[in-house]
Amino acid sequence: MSFTFRTTDLSGVLIIESPVFSDARGFFMETYVSSEFAREGLALPFVQENHSHSVRGTLRGMHAQHPPKAQGKLIRVVAGEIFDVAADVRPESPTYRRWVGVALSASNKRSLYIPPGYMHGFCVLSADAEVIYKTTEEYAPELEYGARWDDPVLSIDWPIRSPLLSDRDQRWPWLSDRSE
C-alpha cells in the first residue's frame, strides 16, 4: 500500500490519496499509516480526533491556535462534500495571506493535511457532510483565534455566498485588525 502526497501552492499543505480496494461488499482503505506519513516528513503525533456534521451552506472557519498549541490537521470527509481551505497566516512566510481550496468528498476519498500556522475552514456543498479530522494538539480555546470568512485580505473565493455561520464565526475580526 502506498499513499500519494500531492503538494499545493502552500508549503506543507498536502492533498493525500490512499489506494482504495473495492469489491461487491464495498471498499477498504487505510486513511493514516504513521510510517507512510513519516517518509514524507510528517512524523506527527495526532492527539485528538473530531467529527462534525453540517448541513448545506454551513461554513466553519476561519480558525487556528497560537503556539505552543498550534494545530496541524488531517481532514477527510466520510459523507457528502466540502470545499476545504487553508490560509497561510505566518507573517514570515513567502505565501503570507495566500490560501488554497480543495474539494474533499466521500466519493473522492482524499484527505488534506494542513500544518500548524495556517487558518482552516470549510463550507458544505452537499445536502449535508460529515468531516473527521485529527489534530496534532488538543483544542485550547484560550489560544484560538480566527478571521472572518469573507475577509478582504484573504479574498477566499468560497463557492457559497450567504453561509450559515456560528455566532463566534460571525464575530471574528478582519485580518487587518489583528495584531501579529
Catalytically active residues are 63, 133
The answer to whether the CB of 86 falls within 8 A of the CB of 13 is: yes
Q: How many CA atoms lie within 13 A of 70 on its CB side?
A: 11
Question: Which three three-digit cell numbers place residue 34?
Answer: 504513521
**CA–CA dist 98, 39 (Å, integer):** 27
**CA–CA dist 110, 130 (Å, integer):** 14
Among residues 109, 115, 122, 138, the alpha carbon closest in space to that of 32 is found at 109
**CA–CA dist 165, 171 (Å, integer):** 10
The angle subtended at Cα 55 by Cα 97 and Cα 153, nearest 5°, is 15
